[in-house]
Structure 1
Amino acid sequence: MKPKKLKLLLRAASALKANLTGGYLMKEKMKLIKGRFLRPVTRTGFLAAVLITGLLSAPYASAKDKKTLENEFELEAMTVTAQKQEENVQEVPVSMTVLSGNHIEDKNIDGLWDLMDHVPGLMNFDTGMSDMFSQPSMRGITAPSNTFNSSVGLYIDGVPILASPGFTAGLLDIERVEVLRGPQGTLYGKNSEAGVINIITRRPDNDMYGKVQISAGEDNKRLMTGSVSGPIAKDKLFFSLVGQYDEKDGFLENKNLGGHDDDRKRYYGRTQLRWTPSEKLDISLIASRLAADEGLSAQTPNAAMMARNGLSPLPEKTTYSDLRPYNDTYNDIQSLKITYDISDSMSLTSITARKVTDWKSAGDFDFTDSHIYHIYTDSQYSNLSQEIRFNWKSDRIKSIVGLYADEHMNDHLQGTIMTDDSRVPTTKRELGGDSYAVFGQIDYSLTQAIHVVTGLRYEMQNMDYDDDILNIDDEESWSKVTPKLSLQYRFSPHHNVYATVAEGYRTGGFNNTAVDLDYRTFEPETLWNYEIGIKASFLDNRIIVNASVYYMDISDMQVEEYVTPVTTYITNAAKATSKGGEIEISARLVKGLDLTAGFAYIDTTFDTFKDANGDYSGNKNPFAPEYTFNLGAIYRHSSGVYISSDLLGYGDTYIDKENNNKRGAYMIFNAKIGYEREKFDIYLYAENLFDKEYNAMNYYNYYNNYSPPREIGVQLAYRF
């Protein structure tokens, strides 16, 4: 045999052997881990395959080897649906962070609170309520907690969650999470003025897959998850089932009743049935429940609150409550998504969704055995929505036009628990209504390098308000047009810049305790966002750098205003500006090693704001950290060794409009080390390894909110 032919044959044999004996069974991690044995290969079978491959395909094998080597270092360009159509994330003129399902698993991200630590410019502050109620801050913009609205929209498989009740999600068996910064009102509508969190769960297909994972850690942490998916009828009908149980002891010690007042248990389940009767039609029915059985948040009164009640200060992280607190929350979501491909260039999508959050709670808010301030809540928040959109594309145009409608009802009951355990309602109100919207967006290629994206949305919001205690029966309507214009210039397939101008808004509402007609309602908050960004990759896609700077002009800002020295309502008394920027870097310069870094600078300041108690002009907006950052590394070796670490941090964050109290800057360090094989993984992990405290003292001038302690534990995973 000629030397050249022998050389090609040996090269082919090497390539084939790598293919037969290497790889990683988990489909999602095959591109990350090489060199795992899948199954034994007989000597006869191997030699036969070598001869066939060498004689017939040697030149192809040589090229394949080279391509495989390149792919070991190339970072994947993820496909996203941030603009409600499939696009390369590097070509979307929006500042956004995308976390894959693998990344979420690697980083032990169990919920939205953990997720936000890895997104520049996004933060969730513990307000002392259940974790099922979140008030995220994006680019320094957040909604006052008692509006029950949000400045950031949350979408789970297209289902909108636009208010703080039930603003949470189970992050199990996730395909990816897309976090969009800046107003997204054109495509997403109300309450997405600062950004959107878009969660896409994994769709079942012909591949049968299953996984079970168990974690155990400090403070009696127990986490069990399981998932299974696959075909019922090949190419036609598929299913998936996921479930999770999470339990952990608290650290807020009750000296009166014993135990801890902030213990928690959570349950999550989701099922999906997917039907593809033809190549053009795709139908998915999804149902999920996230239930929480929690105690009080890790919050106690400060010395001022105790003195106000004529009591002595409590020791740190301690209560003497005579009522065992509870927060029982159930978040149910059902959705039906239908996609029909009319042709290669046209598609029609319908998303019908129902979301219901039930909340029952009781708490001792004097935190002593004096029975001064015992409060209970029994509420339900529901939303029924329908969206229909039509997508069309050609060589130079990508367009979307759609209709949206929803109907919501919030029944809120709150009262006082008397000494004989009877319950006297103090608040009993219903807030209902509906909204309608029409929207459209066009991405037009002026040239191969220059793209213009323009969009417009008109939305009408109607609200009805009934208060049985105060005998109030009122209604209000608001309408809004939100435009968007982006100009994008692509220097090359790997480098582009964009400039965007967009308007966002957060809906208005009612002050539930107002008897003065001047303060019965508050108006929508609006802002204009001006943004410039760059998205670039270098060294054959081994390094990706995305950066943006922005300026936001905020009008009719919704704030808590003292209309008298002791009476507070939500009003539109403030005007503010927010400016800053974000940068994210991903790199894969060494085989098996992925590096990530993110940083956001945030400066959100009141231009004008004063009330009966003072003038706050020039002060920082509460819950707007000066900066956020995350540094991460993941290393996988072909032997199965796994190592990862994360350094996460936030800058100073004021917690009142007076800027008298703040949570100081802090950093926490997470780490994980393990061994991964074909069927199983085992890890040792640490969250907040150095037990850093980042407490928020004097929250609302009367409470101290304590940060969770370190957690060290082990994880076991088995795939089948």
Structure 2
Amino acid sequence: MSYPSSRFRIKPLHLALLGSLPGLLLTPIANAADTPSTLAPITVNADLRQVDQQQLTASATIVDDMELQDRGATHFGDLLLQTPNVNFSGQSSRPRHLQIRGMGERDEYTGAPNPSVGFAIDSIDLSGIGMAGSLFDVKQVEILRGPQSTRYGASAIAGLVNIQSNEPTAEGETLLETTFGSDQLREIGLANSGALSAIDRGELTPLYRFSLFKHDSDGFRTNKTLNRTDTNGRDETQARGALRWWANSDTQFDLNLLYANLNNGYDAFSRDNSFTTRSDEPGRDTQKTLAGAFKVTWTGNPNYQLTSITSYADSNANYDYDVDWQAFDIEKTNGTYQSNQQRQNFNQDFRWQSTEASQLFNNSTAWLVGLNLAYLEEDNKRQERSKTCYGFQCPTEGPDIFNADTTSQFTNQKLGLYGQLDQSITANKTLTYALRVEQNRKNFRQTKREFGAAFEYDNNGDPVSYEPYDFDVNDRFSPTETLWGGSITYTHRYSERHTAFAGVTRGFKAGGFNTGLDDNENTQFDAETLYNYEIGLRSNYGSLQTATTLFYMDRQNPQFDGYTFNAFDRNEYIFFTENFDSAQHYGLETQLDWQAHPKLDLFAHLGLLKTEIKGTPINTDLIVAGREAAHAPNYQYLVGGQYRHGNGWFARLEVQGMDAFYFDNVHNERSGAYTLVNSRVGYETGDFEVYVWAKNLTDERYATRGYFFDHFDGDGERQYVRLGDPRQLGITTRLRF
């Protein structure tokens, strides 16, 4: 499969044009509408103070419940490629490994997770295992770009994805949603909310909410070896519950529960880069999560408010695949990879913040202080089997040529202290100072047994015999680091319509260790520091809303991951991370939403990104120096329009696109630039809605993950890609009562 090589490059003219944008911060447009939009304000829950979106001093995309329904988004993965400078790695059945502004992991095989992008659902940290991101009965999705280290510490140096479920309501409401579509798509969702009338306490009557969502689909693959169409299928069940009650008028309790059971297949790759697979042992990608968060808000003291958030998550995941992607052949490489991951994580956050009565410095400065304790424990088991028989007596039931059994235990303890001051210089000018200090303790133990047989070759390079081997490799690491980050931001609110901000943020990411490498000098890598410089403007011209941010990120000791091969078997990858000298990521994010007519909305979102990497790698397999980062396209966009008539008719057309990008840090293979078209037509009444929709209407072929290697069966080294979903058609109905 060939991909076009068109690319967007930031040239001097582009830089000159972009450089002129900060002038908007000093000269707001005078010919704006006299009255700002009357749209309901959106509160950003991921912010420490939970401010209104118009006051947020960070680059963010907030998608509320109405917009989620208009887009037809049922999983947070539906939003990622439509969001400026956000990407993901198609390494799993659902997006788990995210990239923001060209930073983020593409996989995780080490057993010691160290994410760059944070992911949370209702204050529950699921970073790196975010497959449970269903969007049914969700209030909003918040995608914050740039380091969020003040609140989230080392887990969000690149940014954060935060999902907030709908809250319990005093008025009873029920939603029933169904979807049917191609690829045997079947979805059903039920949500119910109201007051617990049996416990009638007037305004303090407890409230509840419950939702259940089921998704089934085949996964767009046909397995010719097994004559099946569901080897890459999705079988997902998710439930959420919420309870809100009050001890008195000063004390509010919120309990959120999450259950997710994803029993998905994983058969995504083929030798010819198509939707037809030939694996005889297709994999699986499963995740079971039971989690909860308990929040206490106390306002009983006139001088401060106290908030406590306690969360816990227990997750069990399996990730398996057929190494050779084909039926067993005695003359070729055959193998399987199986892994089991068990993770428990606990998080406790205490937060004290001032009221108007306790502000500092002549009542000009609001304050906030927080203490965060986090503990993560993860146990991993991995089993690798590989045969390359070359015609020897190596039947399916016989001894394997290469075996590896690995068990590992990992714990990560974090203790963080953070604070924030918001100083009002004048009525419309504010300086915000934030600081976080975090102690990070890790403990890792791993035992790996390798056993099998190594081939001996004649002078012509042909195998003549093989000798057995069996040995163990043990690794142990216990690093401790003290890290810090913070920010200084200046905000100028020119009017009700214009808010400008400029600031610098220091983010951090903990260091770590490598296992399985022969080079003892590369067993550990250092912490990374990121300085993020931003200048932005949010404007509301009544029917037109815009948000633009220019950013420059300077990475010091940047961490780049890669892989090499086992000396006994080139089908086994050995993953590692090391520090480079520096890296710079810079660009722009802008969003425009225009109500051109009371019945017509137009929108345009754009992300521009340029990355530069400097340094000499220790491991020669890393080849990122002098080129751009992996999964960092130069441009990304979403444009479209939406029509909603008062008599009930609805139509939406959107076009999203992405530039080509490098797939990895150890080869120079790239994706192709692509454009996707999505459409939606429906009819809406007060209680009933029906929509007919199409995703990827033009049936574009595009890649979300790519490799370059040799299967050792005569094909040589070549590119292999995981394709994104092809065209899908469907119908969705909603009934509210």
Pair in the same fold by TM > 0.5? yes
TM-superposed deviation, 1:514: 3.7
Change (3 A) 1:501 1:697: closer
What corresponds to 1:19 in structure 2?
none
Matched letter for residue 479 of structure 1: T
Change (3 A) 1:699 1:630: same
SS at match of 1:654: coil
1:717 matched to 2:720: no
1:673 matched to 2:681: yes
TM-superposed deviation, 1:130: 3.4
1:250 matched to 2:214: no
What corresponds to 1:98 in structure 2?
62
TM-superposed deviation, 1:354: 0.8
Change (3 A) 1:425 1:177: same
1:438 matched to 2:380: no
Q: Pick from 573, 576, 584 the counterpart of residue 577 of structure 1.
A: 584
Matched letter for residue 264 of structure 1: R
Cα deviation code 1:456-506 (max 9, x no counterpart): 000011011111222223311111110210011222221122111011122
- Whole-angstrom distance in 1 between the partners of 2:381 and 2:564: 25
1:535 matched to 2:500: no
1:414 matched to 2:378: no
Matched letter for residue 547 of structure 1: T
Contact 2:660/2:671 (8 A) holds in 1? yes
Q: Pick from 271, 278, 294 the counterpart of residue 241 of structure 2.
A: 271
Change (3 A) 1:696 1:673: closer
What corresponds to 1:208 in structure 2?
172
- Whole-angstrom distance in 2 between the partners of 1:81 and 1:614: 39
SS at match of 1:552: strand
Between structures 1 and 2, the one with greater helix share: 1
SS at match of 1:204: coil
TM-superposed deviation, 1:403: 0.4
What corresponds to 1:17 in structure 2?
none
Matched letter for residue 434 of structure 2: G
Cα deviation code 1:181-219 (max 9, x no counterpart): 111111221121111122221111211010101110011
Q: Note the residue ranges of structure 1 that are not aligned, 5 or more in a row.
A: 1-69, 302-313
TM-superposed deviation, 1:425: 5.4
- Whole-angstrom distance in 2 between the partners of 1:213 and 1:590: 29
What corresponds to 2:365 in structure 1?
397
Q: Pick from 691, 694, 697 the counterpart of residue 689 of structure 1.
A: 697
What corresponds to 2:157 in structure 1?
193
Contact 1:563/1:612 (8 A) holds in 2? no
- Whole-angstrom distance in 2 between the partners of 1:200 and 1:695: 30
Change (3 A) 1:687 1:569: same
What corresponds to 2:124 in structure 1?
159
Change (3 A) 1:179 1:616: closer
SS at match of 1:189: helix
Matched letter for residue 110 of structure 1: T
Q: Pick from 627, 645, 654 the counterpart of residue 662 of structure 2.
A: 654
1:237 matched to 2:214: no
1:623 matched to 2:631: yes
Normalising by structure 2, report the TM-score.
0.82
Contact 2:36/2:497 (8 A) holds in 1? no
What corresponds to 1:479 in structure 2?
482
Matched letter for residue 447 of structure 1: T
* Range moving further from structure 2, 338-347 or 703-712: 338-347
- Whole-angstrom distance in 2 between the partners of 1:72 and 1:226: 36
1:448 matched to 2:406: no
Change (3 A) 1:77 1:241: closer
What corresponds to 2:525 in structure 1?
522
Contact 2:488/2:504 (8 A) holds in 1? yes
After TM superposition, list the pairs within 5 Å mapping 1:558-573 onto structure 2.
558-560=559-561, 569-573=576-580
- Whole-angstrom distance in 1 between the partners of 2:416 and 2:650: 48
TM-superposed deviation, 1:393: 3.4
What corresponds to 2:556 in structure 1?
555
Cα deviation code 1:493-544 (max 9, x no counterpart): 2112211101112222232324654333222222111111111121xx2111
**Identical-pair percentage:** 25
Change (3 A) 1:682 1:285: same
TM-superposed deviation, 1:389: 0.4
What corresponds to 1:377 in structure 2?
339
Cα deviation code 1:143-198 (max 9, x no counterpart): 25235332211122222233x13454221211222221111111221121111122
Change (3 A) 1:565 1:356: closer
SS at match of 1:662: coil
Contact 1:143/1:150 (8 A) holds in 2? yes
Q: Pick from 95, 104, 116 the counterpart of residue 80 of structure 2.
A: 116
What corresponds to 1:500 in structure 2?
503
TM-superposed deviation, 1:321: 2.0
SS at match of 1:594: strand
1:288 matched to 2:258: yes
- Whole-angstrom distance in 2 between the partners of 1:264 and 1:87: 37
Contact 1:144/1:558 (8 A) holds in 2? no
What corresponds to 1:603 in structure 2?
610
- Whole-angstrom distance in 1 between the partners of 2:370 and 2:704: 44
TM-superposed deviation, 1:362: 3.0
Contact 1:380/1:412 (8 A) holds in 2? yes
TM-superposed deviation, 1:407: 1.0
Contact 2:175/2:190 (8 A) holds in 1? yes
Cα deviation code 1:611-650 (max 9, x no counterpart): 4257543201011011111123222211111111221111
Contact 2:89/2:106 (8 A) holds in 1? no
Matched letter for residue 670 of structure 1: N
What corresponds to 2:269 in structure 1?
299
Contact 2:86/2:98 (8 A) holds in 1? yes
Change (3 A) 1:263 1:648: same
Contact 2:270/2:278 (8 A) holds in 1? no
SS at match of 1:207: coil
Contact 1:294/1:326 (8 A) holds in 2? yes
1:150 matched to 2:158: no
TM-superposed deviation, 1:433: 2.5
What corresponds to 1:588 in structure 2?
595
Change (3 A) 1:644 1:343: farther
- Whole-angstrom distance in 1 between the partners of 2:176 and 2:621: 56
1:509 matched to 2:508: no
| Count of aligned pairs between the two proteins | 634
Q: Note the residue ranges of structure 2 that are not aligned, 5 or more in a row.
A: 1-33, 357-362, 387-395, 449-472, 568-573, 710-718
- Whole-angstrom distance in 2 between the partners of 1:196 and 1:270: 21
Change (3 A) 1:511 1:211: same
- Whole-angstrom distance in 2 between the partners of 1:90 and 1:353: 29
Cα RMSD of the aligned pairs, angstroms, is: 2.4
Change (3 A) 1:331 1:564: closer
1:79 matched to 2:43: yes
* Range moving further from structure 2, 203-212 or 466-475: 466-475
What corresponds to 1:23 in structure 2?
none
Cα deviation code 1:31-65 (max 9, x no counterpart): xxxxxxxxxxxxxxxxxxxxxxxxxxxxxxxxxxx
Matched letter for residue 202 of structure 1: N
Contact 2:294/2:311 (8 A) holds in 1? yes
SS at match of 2:150: helix
- Whole-angstrom distance in 2 between the partners of 1:579 and 1:118: 19
Contact 1:246/1:265 (8 A) holds in 2? yes
- Whole-angstrom distance in 2 between the partners of 1:177 and 1:467: 37
